[in-house]
Amino acid sequence: MSKVKPRGKVPKKATIDEVIEIKTLIRHPMHSGRMKDKDGKNIPRQIINSFKVDFEGKEIFKMKLEPSISTNPYIAFPYKAKKTGTFNFEWKDDSGNTYTMKRKMTVS
């Protein structure tokens, strides 16, 4: 399996009450369990099944992913900037692996 690598884009600076857009992407094959490999064998299901974002320990956004989500899941969502802090992103896959990423944002 190729290496799973999360990536994210959060504005470094924002003004109070500004609605910013957060973009995330994680490199993951998202095997739906229906694909076949070269030898005609079924590739077992292996997907990212949940995504969660915390801001300073408070949950702000959550998503449940199903096999119908594309390879390398891309997720973008808005957030209303209130204060300076750190975003904590967390992805979980079927085999129980957790991938995390942190991003800081300064609000003035």
Partner 1 sequence: MKTIKMINISRRNAIALMLGTAGYIMSSGIAFAGKEQVLKRIDEITKGKGTKELDIFLDLPEIAENGNQVKVNFEIESEMTKENYIKNVYILADGNPAPDVAKFSFTPDMGMCSATTRIRLSKTQNVVLVAENNKNEYFMTKSKVKVTIGGCGG
What character string, x for contact with partner 1 (CB under 8 A) and - otherwise, covers 30-69? --x-xxx------------------x--xxxxxxxxxxxx
Options 76, 84, 97, 100; binder of partner 1; rule CB under 8 A: 76
Q: How far apart are CA 38 and CA 35, in angstroms?
A: 10
| Least distance CB 58 / partner 1 (angstroms) | 7
DSSP type of residue 56: T
Options 14, 28, 46, 79; binder of partner 1; rule CB under 8 A: 79
User: Token pair for residue 33?
Assistant: 């369990």
Angle at 42 between CA 68 and CA 50, to 5 degrees: 35
Q: How far apart are CA 71 and CA 66, in angstroms?
A: 11
Residues forming contacts to partner 1 in the complex (CB under 8 A) are 17, 19, 32, 34-36, 55, 58-71, 73-80, 82
